[in-house]
Amino acid sequence: MKIQILGTGCPKCKKLADMAEKVATELGVDFEIEKVTDIKEIMSFGVIGTPGLVVDGNVLLAGRVPTEATLKELLQKAVK
């Protein structure tokens, strides 16, 4: 599973990256996390508000940090 965190390195972006790593580890899935900080690349996903969460090329979330439970649900669905 490729997890991309879209954002310029703000505290919310860092929080989402840390949470995604924790949840993916708890789910026991193979994953890699990439932090995408280039504005043009972020916009290529159609994301205007950061942070954004992209899993295997699909934008799952943008403009907010989800609760840990919501993030877990999103990642579980992405694994299936």
pLDDT the model gives residue 62: 96
pTM: 0.93
Q: What is the CATH number of domain 2-79?
A: 3.40.30.10
Residue 13 annotated in active site: yes
User: Could you tell me the strand order of the sheet in which 58-62 lies?
Assistant: 32-36, 2-6, 52-55, 58-62
**How many Å apart are CA 49 and CA 24, to the nearest integer?**
23
- CA distance to 36, 48, 65, per residue, from 29 (Å): 21, 29, 21
**From 8, 9, 10, 77, the catalytic residue:** 10
Residues of the chain with pLDDT under 70: none
**From 3, 5, 6, 13, the catalytic residue:** 13
Q: Can you give the residue ranges of every domain in the chain?
A: 2-79
pLDDT the model gives residue 79: 86
Residue 10 annotated in active site: yes
